[in-house]
Homo-oligomer: A and B are copies of this chain.
Amino acid sequence: MARIVMKFGGTSVANIERIQNVALHVKREVEAGHEVAVVVSAMAGVTNQLVAWCKEAMPNYATSEYDAVVSSGEQVTSGLLAIALNNLGIKARSYQGWQIPLRTDSTHGSARIQGIEGDALSKDLSSGTVACIAGFQGVSPEGRIATLGRGGSDTSAVAIAAGIKADRCDIYTDVDGVYTTDPRIVPKARRLPRVAFEEMLEMASLGAKVLQVRSVELAMVHNVRVFVRSSFDAPDAPQIGPGGLPPGTLICDEEEIVEQQVVTGIAYSKDEAQITLRGVQDKPGVAAAVFGPLAEAHINVDMIVQNISDDGTTTDLTFTVPVADYERAMATLRAGNGAIGYAKIDGASDVVKVSVVGIGMRSHAGVAAKAFAALAANGINIRVIATSEIKISVLIDTAHTELAVRTLHSIYGLDQA
């Protein structure tokens, strides 16, 4: 007997038929003897309609009222799922964020979870009742409804799993797991049976959009085992596979991963633009003068590279920003040249970041050298290199994306047999 949180997104609950299919998935787990809490999103399309109404009423709506309006979508699904479960003879009840309560801060529209009082939920689960929980929402210190921001249902699910000490949090998605890379680029990509939290964090934030980054962070902090699987599986399909689980990917502590690969996957992100400041004064305070104004303009800076200066007086500073913010970032930096003091500003928006990710590379030398050699052999110029303990990222021209990803996927032995 285990305690499981199951999470279903908008397309999985798009209509009553799909909700009834979700109920069958839940029934299977209940009949296997598990205690189940289900976290649901709004029915596909509903949230967009609600957001459109808010905008129509006022372009700059109050986020607290936006939350009251938009959170109703998940509320509806939670009640309908409870009804669908009752219809299968399963005890179930709906829970809104304020009923758990799932407490958040007051940042309406993108609130952060502050805590979960899991006692009422746990009591219901112990008595054999399935809790159908409206995802994406909580209650603020002022007693107002607060939403966690788009994709917040993943975060809700993981937070609730932590709050009720669940054995596992199953995320049902459009895909059947986490792959070694994007299968649209590399047909030989393989599904990973297990991925470490840290790897998933790098994969997710680098473009493998299976799970919200926030939810992976939360899972890592609270050590919640997250299992990503397809919501299109037949509810009565055999539930066997690696580790006794059905086809999917378990995101877990690295200690649970017995046979670690050196490299787990190749991620890429096209949402990058490169900016280079040349002839920057090499003195304290310059970095602050560059990145302070960008932060104030709410522009996220990603890769930052600065080399030792040749002459001890000036250096070059390169970093990336989201493509959508590229022009605004250039304008901000041009306006700030007085304070920064650079000779020249360069940039490019037709660049892609390709990353090699793997827990195993901590203990294996030569992983980076192998990548650089392979890229060079294929005539791919590397603009910027940035590394962390478990990943190597390179910035290259967009035109070389597919070639680079395929090459790296192959040289680290990730191709399917």
Contact = CB atoms under 8 A, between A and B. Distances in A.
Interface in A39-69: 50, 53-54, 56-58, 61-62, 64-69
A79 B84 contact: no
Interface in A45-103: 50, 53-54, 56-58, 61-62, 64-69, 71-73, 75-76, 78-80, 82-84, 86-87, 93-94, 96, 98-99
B68 A78 contact: yes
Given A62-B86, A84-B58, A86-B62, A68 B79 contact: yes
Contacts of A78: 68
Contact of A19 (B50, B57, B61, B96): B57
* Dominant secondary structure of chain A at its interface with chain B: helix
Contacts of A33: none
B83 A65 contact: yes
A58 B72 contact: no
Interface string A318-353: 000000000000000000000000000000000000
A68 B96 CA distance: 9
A16 interface: yes
A61 to B, nearest CB: 4
28 contacts: A20-B57, A54-B79, A54-B80, A57-B80, A57-B83, A57-B87, A58-B86, A61-B83, A61-B86, A62-B83, A62-B86, A64-B93, A65-B86, A65-B93, A66-B79, A66-B83, A67-B79, A68-B76, A68-B78, A68-B79, A68-B82, A69-B76, A69-B79, A72-B76, A75-B75, A96-B145, A99-B143, A99-B144
Given A53-B16, A87-B57, A94 B65 contact: yes
Interface string A97-126: 011000000000000000000000000000
A64 B69 CA distance: 21
Given A54-B79, A57-B80, 19 more contacts: A19-B57, A50-B76, A57-B87, A58-B86, A61-B83, A62-B83, A62-B86, A64-B94, A65-B79, A65-B80, A65-B83, A66-B79, A68-B78, A68-B96, A69-B75, A71-B75, A72-B73, A96-B145, A99-B144
A146 B80 CA distance: 16
Interface in A255-312: none
Nearest to A75: B72
A138 to B, nearest CB: 14
User: Which residue, A20, A79, A99, has most C-beta atoms of chain B within 10 A?
Assistant: A79
A177 to B, nearest CB: 30
Copies of this chain per assembly: 2
Contacts of A79: 54, 65-69
**7 A-B pairs with the lowest CB-CB distances in the bound complex, closest first:** A68-B79, A69-B79, A72-B72, A58-B87, A57-B83, A16-B56, A65-B79
A120 to B, nearest CB: 8
Given A62-B82, A82-B62, A86-B62, A68 B57 contact: no
Contacts of A83: 54, 57-58, 61-62, 65-66, 69
A92 to B, nearest CB: 8
Given A58-B87, A69-B75, A75-B68, A80 B94 contact: no
Contacts of A80: 53-54, 57, 65, 69
A102 to B, nearest CB: 14
A96 to B, nearest CB: 7
Interface in A113-169: 143-145
Contacts of A75: 68-69, 71-72, 75
A128 to B, nearest CB: 16
Contacts of A53: 16, 76, 80
